[in-house]
Structure 1
């Protein structure tokens, strides 16, 4: 059975959201020296030297990049599963979209790429809950015979 059009569009929006995340944090990774220098210039703590700041920036940016890749893979994987009609995939995508939105609001409120990725994920999630596609994600009832 072919997935409804909103479910197919949602899948591609999730893929796009993941690609935006990877591109944004990949670009930030290339700006490692600029970020480190800005933090060194802002540093007022005597017990933090330049090397510690540079090391911390490097670790943080690589962690954010790996996190973006993980989110992109999860968006694609569960987006594909949702295309196949898996109700649990829809639930997981809802949680991932909520986490992306929270990260955007709490940690990156001025980041345009994070805002774009969050927007794409939220729109994709909304498409999965449209009344026209509810029948595509059937409820799982108890097994036949009423036994568990």
Structure 2
């Protein structure tokens, strides 16, 4: 397996970006209470965004541990939502830079190829900075003095 097998991209969908920054927040171990992914969702709210690439989930998830979501839509049709990882571009007309967001779910396996997908997107979109956002808790008893 290589990056070309799992990364689906339309590089021309966004045109030229202005000194883009790649920001990564993935649901999983370092997203306690959804703080990291929620922060990025807030950044994208009310913005026009374009999905430029996504990573095929089949090679990265243990679907017995991370089950797809199944629900009935308003037409009573069954829908399945698979774990996904998307590279989303948001433009900030009044800012000096555009934003590329990797939003999705932390993979269970094949991290090396997953990381290569991130590197390839960052290079292809000419991101000059990559920032990871996370949130963690700690086991500190309430009886300890702060």
* Same fold per superposition (TM over 0.5): no
TM-score (norm 2): 0.30
Provide the TM-score with structure 1 as the length reference: 0.29
Structure with the higher helix share, 1 or 2: 1
Greater Rg by CA: 1
